[in-house]
A and B are shown apart, each in its own frame.
Chain A
Amino acid sequence: MRFGTRILLGSFVSATLLLIGSFFAVQSLVVATVRNGLRSTLRETQLAVARMGSKSEDKSRRVLRVIGESAALKAGLQLMRAEADRSEARLTLEDQLHEICNILTCDFLLMSSPGGAPLAGVLREENRVIPMDLGIGQPPLRGFYSLGPSTYQVTSVPVDQGGENIGILAIGEHIDFSGFGAPVVLSHNGKVVASYLVGIEGWEIDAALKPCGQQPECMVLLHRESYLAMRMNGQYVGDGYSLHSFQNISAALAPVKASLQRVFLLTSLAGLLAALILSVFLSRSMVKPLARLMVHLRKCVTTGMLTELDGQPSPIQEIRELTGSLNRAAVSVREGREKLGLAYLEFVESMANALDARDPYTAGHSRRVSGHACAIGQAMNFPAKDLDEIRIGALLHDIGKIGIADSVLQKPGKLTRAEFALIQEHPGIGRQILAGVNGFQPYLQTVELHHENWDGTGYPKGLRGTETPLPARIVHVVDAYDAMTSDRPYRRGMSPESAVRQIVDNAGTQFDPAVVELFADLPGIRLACQRGALVQSHSSSSMAALAEAVSGSTESNVTHSVEGKNR
């Protein structure tokens, strides 16, 4: 994973987690508050229902006491006793109750025997008082009673005569649970008989309330909405009946939740956006300088040169330190490299010196050849690297002579054919010596091929024209020149002018005419190339372009051999 991604993820994920966590914390707080509010509404409803229940009970009882003392009603009861087997007797009592109920505008009125068996009753239906079907069951003496679609609150008093109980008179007040703060549900033996919960079937409520048992407060799920159900207690409720008031928590919470979600969505989007921008900015401020360092290092790998980084990539302390370390390392590597190059150069020079020192007549030969070759290279606008190559190649061009016996090498006079053949082996020996040294590969060709002639008559390979690399062709020219101008035990050295003339004469046969032309034009034959010249920068013309230019020059027909002077 990239550094930037890591920072991005870190800040982003933590911000998201924080938002989600706070959202749920606030939501649970709101839920608890709303639930408490609903609970208090339920309690108020409970109180109101209880008040209504006991009030209506009191009122009914007072009325009943008066009715129960009615002589006519008692006479009716006595008639019932006397004529129990006659339907007219029941009708008479029913008619009496009918009359009373009409006057009282009661909802039902029932006379029972002292044992509780219903004798006659009437009830109000659609604003009409009708006889009650006594087969439907026996209402309780007190509490709720459900009959068909209606629910009554029943209160009863005994009807006595002369200390003897002759009947029980029960009055039922139709109860209406609507208009309370919370919808009310009345169940009888676990079955809903009256429900003010709109849109929910009774059996659904039964099933939901079943696990609640006798709990005073219970959470139920109806139509995938949660309700808080509160059970009401009180003697007015009666046996087998239970009264619950409901509050829809889901509906109450929905608007609060919606606004909460909206607010949180907005703030979290804004917060996440801010976090995103901030983390992008942050990761960029760290990654960008690092990337710059990386690009720089990669470039160093391809070039093989560890260089210093320009400028300060970032104000961040750690990156500044890293850059500083890199720059210090680059400096020390460069210094070490320079020292190594210097030591290597000194070694090469001392090798050349050692070679030259074998023969007093060739003292300084290698250095001079190197100098002239370098001068020509400069004149040809060689880049620094190629200049170095030709300078060192020229310095080492005769190293193979180490492997030639002094008797041959320092022999005064003419060489035999065999001896000359030995001499001719020195470029190959030189190549063999240097091939084993790491880093000397660029000079091998200069050492091996500096005796090849332009017309293919040279040795060891007999290459023609531009088949011989340019540095070798240059060294060939300046080597001949130095040999001709140097003293030998058997002759004195030529004057530079005649040596140059000889070379010019042999341009096109023995020497590359282009190189010769340049050599001839050099301002004096002197050591133009000093060591310091290496660091000078040159124009960009490449060696390949130069070689092409040289190969295209006119060939001159030089036949004169200088081999004898150049051994």
Chain B
Amino acid sequence: MRPRIERQILALFLSLMAVQAADIQGLIVIKHKLTRRSVTAPAGSYQRGRAVELDSAGVDDPLSYERAHVAIYLDGELSSAPSAATIEQRNRAFFPDMVLIPAGSTVSFPNLDVIFHNVFSLSAPKTFDLGNYSRGQTRTVIFPKPGIVFVNCRLHPNMSAVIVVSPNSVATMAGRDGRFVLPGVPPGRHMVVAWHKAAGFFRQSVQVGPGGAANVQFFIPIEEGGRPQSVAQR
């Protein structure tokens, strides 16, 4: 109980400090594709054979997809406000396939397909199995510990999603152009963590001065002088 109270006090303190907090602005630089992707046709409609456009969301640059799948957060005990997120099961896929939540948040998994789905995870931060459930049903899971949680469906091994549970609320997803802003960072030295499913963790130490912004740039993957950390090393 004690560490929890301490943490709450710390959080309160940090939020007081946030008045003087600054933004960390950054850029994710990805020079080549990291993920091999294949076309996944919509499920349940029984309309196989219909042409499916790759990245029908309108991403013409494959590197945009990679950049948009990078989660950035600050390591360390900072203020955290649990939130709620939704991962739909639609067309035999999880949508969205990547969610970033601070620890303690709740994720709901509604099934919008006509067929049964099953949602489970064997990842260490949170193992769960929601069982088989059909259309219209929604089941929820709370993720109290930070970490990377991979979510799958027993019935459809192709379905996969990842939930990045950050230790605090100072976290964001990179934009398609790779730019991101971590707002409300208290002054001091911080460790900025970037995570990409295929490339792993990237860390950079940043000094945030009072009232001053900081810039950070991630080259993913690291060309030289280091290897990305695996999920286990985190």
Chain A residues at the B interface, C-beta cutoff of 8 Å: 71-72, 75-76, 79, 82-83, 86, 88-89, 91-92, 95-96, 98, 102, 127-131
Contacts and interface: CB of A to CB of B under 8 A. Distances in A.
A72 B158 CA distance: 10
B114 A76 contact: no
A86 B132 CA distance: 12
B46 to A, nearest CB: 7
B132 A79 contact: yes
B154 A95 contact: no
B118 interface: yes
Contact of A88 (B48, B135, B157): B135
B227 to A, nearest CB: 33
B116 A92 contact: yes
B155 A91 contact: no
Contacts of A128: 48-49
Contact of A96 (B132, B135, B155): B155
Residue of B48, B155, B156, B157 with most partner-chain A CB within 10 A: B155
Given A82-B132, A88-B135, A75 B46 contact: no
Given A98-B46, A130-B46, A88 B114 contact: yes
Nearest to A91: B115
A129 B156 CA distance: 18
B140 interface: no
A76 B153 CA distance: 11
Contacts of A88: 114-116, 134-135
B47 to A, nearest CB: 9
Contacts of A95: 43-44, 92, 115
Contacts of B132: 79, 82-83
Given A79-B132, A88-B116, A91-B114, A131 B156 contact: no
Contact of B154 (A71, A91, A131): A71
Interface in B80-139: 92, 114-116, 118, 132, 134-135
A240 B115 CA distance: 38
Given A75-B118, A79-B132, A83-B116, A92 B155 contact: yes
Contacts of A127: 49
Contacts of B157: 71-72
A82 B49 CA distance: 32
Dominant secondary structure of chain A at its interface with chain B = helix
A511 B38 CA distance: 162
Contacts of B44: 91, 95
A127 B48 CA distance: 10
Contacts of B156: 72, 96
17 contacts: A71-B157, A72-B154, A72-B155, A76-B155, A83-B116, A86-B134, A88-B134, A89-B134, A91-B44, A91-B116, A95-B43, A96-B155, A98-B46, A98-B48, A127-B49, A128-B49, A129-B48
A79 B118 CA distance: 10
A102 B157 CA distance: 16
Interface string B10-23: 00000000000000
Contacts of A96: 155-156
A79 B48 contact: no
A131 B116 CA distance: 17
Contacts of A91: 44, 114-116
A72 B92 CA distance: 13
Residue of B43, B116, B134, B155 with most partner-chain A CB within 10 A: B116
Nearest to B92: A95
Contacts of A86: 134
Nearest to A127: B49
A102 to B, nearest CB: 6
A131 B115 CA distance: 14
B218 to A, nearest CB: 36
A85 to B, nearest CB: 12
Nearest to B157: A72
A321 to B, nearest CB: 106
Given A72-B154, A92-B115, A96-B156, 6 more contacts: A72-B156, A75-B154, A83-B134, A88-B114, A91-B44, A95-B43
Nearest to A73: B155
Contacts of B46: 98, 130-131
Nearest to B115: A92
A102 B158 CA distance: 14
Contacts of B92: 95
A532 B95 CA distance: 160
A82 B157 CA distance: 20
Interface string B147-167: 000000011110000000000
Residue of A72, A79, A89, A92 with most partner-chain B CB within 10 A: A92
B48 A102 contact: yes
A84 to B, nearest CB: 13
B42 to A, nearest CB: 11
Nearest to A72: B157
A66 to B, nearest CB: 14
Contacts of A102: 48
B15 to A, nearest CB: 46
A188 to B, nearest CB: 30
A12 to B, nearest CB: 79
Residue of B44, B48, B49 with most partner-chain A CB within 10 A: B48
A27 to B, nearest CB: 59
Contacts of A130: 46
A71 B46 CA distance: 22
Nearest to B132: A79
A98 B42 CA distance: 13
A72 B154 CA distance: 6
Contacts of B49: 127-128
A71 B156 CA distance: 10
Nearest to A122: B46
Contacts of A76: 155
Contact of B116 (A71, A79, A129): A79
Contacts of B155: 72, 75-76, 79, 92, 96
Nearest to A101: B48
